[in-house]
Amino acid sequence: MTVAPQSTVASPAYAAEEMTAVGVTPRRTPAVEAFLAEPADHAGTLPWPFPDDLEAFRYTVNVDPARVARQTRAGEWGRHLVDLGGSDYPTIMTEKRLSHDSDPHRVKIRPGMELACWDLLLYYLRDLALAYPALMRLTEEGDAFRWENDLLGTDQRFVLGDWESIPYGPLEFLSREIPDDLLLVTERDGRLYFDAGAVCFAAAWSVSFDVGMDMYEIHGPVPRLHGDGIVARAEQFLMRLPADKVYRRLNWNIAASPSRKFDIALESMPDWGGDMAAHLAAGGIGDVQFRIELEHFIRLPMTGTVTFNIRTFMASLDEVRTVPEWASQLAAVIEELPEDIGGYKGFAAHSDAIVAYLRS
């Protein structure tokens, strides 16, 4: 194993006043202090998306069981359903809450999905309390609940089913507590439809545009998925998803913004659309971000609704190069990509420069 050094690339910084304004006020308990004192290691926690022997990438239905730790050349990922992001967690959640505050359309809920939103909230809060007991707690008394998250300073009581008892409603409340984007899909007439979501960190797509579409419509722009039968197989997998197992898969891209900015949704494109060209022109290719999406699939226990939740990770090309095997493999994968896939992923115009840098 080649061990990567700690990250030297800073994540976006927010002033204390900005964090406080969105309610991010960590309690200074010993457990919180210890958690936040650990430097973020973006390479060490990166879910590397390629098997060691892979040299050419094509889309597949690459699912495996979740909540299983996976070792990489730089560290480990996947032990918990929710990866908080280490000491970056308050920063990530500040960015997410700012996205929600600036654009309420990041949350879309079609009629009939209200109970599924409560189902999702309870599933995740219970999981978080089990995964991080020194930092988070959920107290249950019948339909009355109390959620405490020491890392953000959250202390919220709510009543199951009472939308007015919880700020923002159950779906957005959960989105403001975890880094993951949240998508709920339901089956109608033999198809799966995206019927509710809280999405702040989309990679150049829009929750407002996609909500209400079926899986074929959502993935229509992705080359080769339909012709190779991948969408059909993925839909059948999700329709048959058992209630007692959780699965995951990985997707990857080169982020359209060269900073560790998570919000690159279509809604915020005026804020980041010109960043890449300007940054590369200034010679900043090492800051370009390798973006990984860890997707989790769960059949929720109360409603049977299926989740398609996305946790975004990023490491700069400089950080990728700290693991020589990764740099070499990523260069080979990008260099071999067919033109249609490279074009869809959006970095074809600067792929030669990325490959050269990874091999330098």
Would the pLDDT of 284 be above 70? yes
- 292-310 tens-digit pLDDT: 999 999 999 999 999 999 9
Residue 89 carries which side chain, given as an amino acid letter?
Answer: Y
With beta carbons less than 8 A apart as the criterion, state whether 325 and 136 touch.
no
Stretch 4-16: mean pLDDT: 57
- Give the pLDDT confidence score for residue 206 in this predicted structure: 73
CA-CA distance, 295 to 180, in Å (whole number)?
9
Axis-axis angle for helices 351-359, 324-336 (nearest 10): 150
Would the pLDDT of 176 be above 90? yes
* Residue 92 CB neighbours (<10 A): 23
Average of per-residue pLDDT values in the chain: 89
| Sequence-distant (≥ 6) Cβ neighbours of residue 68 within 8 angstroms | 78, 79
Stretch 311-325: mean pLDDT: 95
DSSP bridge partners of 81: none
- 62-92 tens-digit pLDDT: 899 999 999 999 999 999 999 999 999 999 9
Would the pLDDT of 329 be above 50? yes
Lowest mean pLDDT among 41-55, 97-111, 165-179, 199-213: 199-213
pLDDT confidence bin for 113, thresholds 50/70/90? very high
CA-CA distance, 140 to 147, in Å (whole number)?
9
- Give the pLDDT confidence score for residue 6 in this predicted structure: 38
Stretch 26-30: mean pLDDT: 97
Report the predicted TM-score, pTM, of the whole model to 2 decimal places. Answer: 0.91
Backbone angles phi, psi at 20, to 5 degrees: -65, -35
249 flagged as catalytic: yes
With beta carbons less than 8 A apart as the criterion, state whether 244 and 236 touch.
no
Within 13 Å of residue 44, how many CA atoms lie on the same side as its CB?
Answer: 13
Tell me which H or E stretch contains 157: strand 154-159
- 219-265 tens-digit pLDDT: 655 655 555 677 778 888 888 999 999 999 999 998 887 778 888 88
Burial (CB count <10 Å: 0-12, 13-18, 19+), residue 59: middle
Stretch 11-29: mean pLDDT: 91
With beta carbons less than 8 A apart as the criterion, state whether 39 and 45 touch.
no
Q: Please, where are the H alpha helices in the chain?
A: 16-21, 30-37, 89-102, 114-131, 170-175, 207-210, 215-218, 230-239, 269-272, 275-281, 317-320, 324-336, 339-345, 351-359
Would the pLDDT of 5 be above 50? no
CA-CA distance, 295 to 89, in Å (whole number)?
18
Would the pLDDT of 97 be above 90? yes
Q: Name the one residue in this structure whose structure tokens are 């999981």.
A: 127
- Give the pLDDT confidence score for residue 224 in this predicted structure: 54
CA-CA distance, 88 to 311, in Å (whole number)?
14
Catalytic residue among 97, 249, 260, 311: 249
CA-CA distance, 236 to 213, in Å (whole number)?
17
Within 13 Å of residue 228, how many CA atoms lie on the same side as its CB?
Answer: 11
Would the pLDDT of 317 be above 80? yes
Within 13 Å of residue 262, how many CA atoms lie on the same side as its CB?
Answer: 29
